Structure 1
């Protein structure tokens, strides 16, 4: 029988899922796919490759290993509407880890990413009205509900970016307990991944010049570092995007409604202004199962 994943890190985008993926991969007897975002259940072009293609990413895992993968596209409604039903077909017993962060911070980080990929070319204050995914991917209850309905709330573990930063070992232990990892995990010191403020805009011709072996050697040997840094800065976002006060108010009105329900599920009061304090200072942040049932 081919090895299947035991758990999926399903998002959210720009919430340290790459770091969590790497941390789990470093633990003995846990196998994480080398391809960090297979996006098999979300993207039609990947799904059409077939289940055998997907399972091939777990072929090198030993029989006793817990297996997982990380695809933030799995919580990108309404962009990928068939994700949950596809997972239900092939992985009916899977567990899910969902990482969240302050919705405004997540939105800004996504904007920087999309800017670097040349998906978005306009100011963030215009983008929030023209690119609804910036808001939708921060509406956590909208993304979670289909998983609750298909798999049950108890099969989804809520994790928060802010707690990962402050209590990395405690949060890793919580995750490993959830996936039934039989050993004591250890958070490792690794280089930060996907640092948005350091992102450069994609440029095909620049990348060809930069990566060409001969040109790379010439550049390193004959072009001063300070000159190279000035050239690099031409493609780098200089300052963190700033939302106008009226747009912050608009976004908070949307996110506070979502956070109120999320907080109800967690048994705490949540809103944008209190998010950081509430999430970091709570001794335990987990679902209050009856609350989800009561909200239906």
Structure 2
């Protein structure tokens, strides 16, 4: 029975959408179904994952697969949901996992800007993050399929420790975001080697990039694209729409490095714990600048 055995599990805002599209070009990887399937996170989907009468079941999602060695699921919620990992291993003990690690401060800011651009943030950066730190992660608490929990989603060491407790590290490949961004061909070759596949040429994909102008040295502004909600409301009048459509014209959002000082201890701890797992943090320039500044 068709079911996924290859997972780009995360992390959010780390390039998983682009990587999904890139490696899906390989003849032995089927990734044409929805990227964010969320089967192992959402209880209803998990319960009916093999039910052909359920639209989002595996028989339907992978109905066009034609004998490929790997069926791909790139739901980033799996990276922060240990229950989902347990479910995956129960279904597919030999599953392969790919994780992309990005500078955690850059990732957090990108996550914040993303939620701002969707119209789900009213508070300034520090107030928003501090308020959100009080909230425990719950996949049911979402914003039209999008999540906050900014720090939690970048707590790599915690989530990877959970992963390694039930998954052989030989079945886990960790990719550095900067390598994916600047040397994608080497990263793709590394992935195909990890999967035991013949090398095939793939085109570079850039996807879901959050617009920004952040630089830890120049403290330049981070910007979010603006749109006029009134025009959209006129065009979509009478149709069910996402609540962000009713959000007023958004201002340019600014985040400067000194505004993140309150995160210094959290980031310092993440550096140390990630290094303790044998994972390099050399490319985390923004986070190191914050911690050492």
Name the TM tier (shorter chain).
Answer: 0.7 to 0.9
TM-score (norm 2): 0.74
**Deviation, structure 1 residue 185:** 2.6
- Structure with more of its chain in helix, by fraction: 1
Distance 1:61 1:168 in 2: 26
Aligned twin of 2:61:
57
Aligned twin of 1:254:
266
Equivalent pair of 1:115/1:201 in contact (CA under 8 Å): no
Equivalent pair of 2:178/2:283 in contact (CA under 8 Å): no
Distance 2:279 2:113 in 1: 33
Aligned twin of 1:119:
120
**Deviation, structure 1 residue 26:** 1.7
Distance 1:93 1:31 in 2: 17
Change (3 A) 1:95 1:201: farther
Supply the RMSD in Å over aligned alpha carbons: 2.8
Q: Deviations over 1:131-181 (max 9, x none)?
A: 131111111011112211111222111111111111110001111111222
Aligned twin of 1:74:
78
Equivalent pair of 1:201/1:236 in contact (CA under 8 Å): yes
Equivalent pair of 2:33/2:62 in contact (CA under 8 Å): no
Q: Deviations over 1:37-86 (max 9, x none)?
A: 0011112343344344431312211114422110111112xxx4521222
Equivalent pair of 1:259/1:270 in contact (CA under 8 Å): no
For the pair shown, the structure with the greater C-alpha radius of gyration is 1
Whether 2:4 is the aligned partner of 1:5: answer yes
TM-score (norm 1): 0.73
Distance 1:114 1:67 in 2: 30
- Identify unmatched segments of 5+ residues in structure 2: 134-148, 212-223, 238-247
Equivalent pair of 1:9/1:71 in contact (CA under 8 Å): yes
Aligned twin of 2:215:
none
Aligned partner of residue 251 in structure 1, secondary structure: helix
Change (3 A) 1:57 1:264: same
- Identify unmatched segments of 5+ residues in structure 1: 213-233, 278-296
Q: Deviations over 1:236-275 (max 9, x none)?
A: 6634x31462x52332321221222222323646595487
Aligned twin of 1:177:
193
**Deviation, structure 1 residue 107:** 0.4
Aligned partner of residue 196 in structure 1, secondary structure: coil
Equivalent pair of 1:21/1:32 in contact (CA under 8 Å): yes
Counterpart of 1:147 (choices 152, 163, 166) is: 163
Distance 1:189 1:175 in 2: 14
Distance 2:180 2:30 in 1: 21
Distance 1:200 1:90 in 2: 43
Aligned twin of 2:143:
none
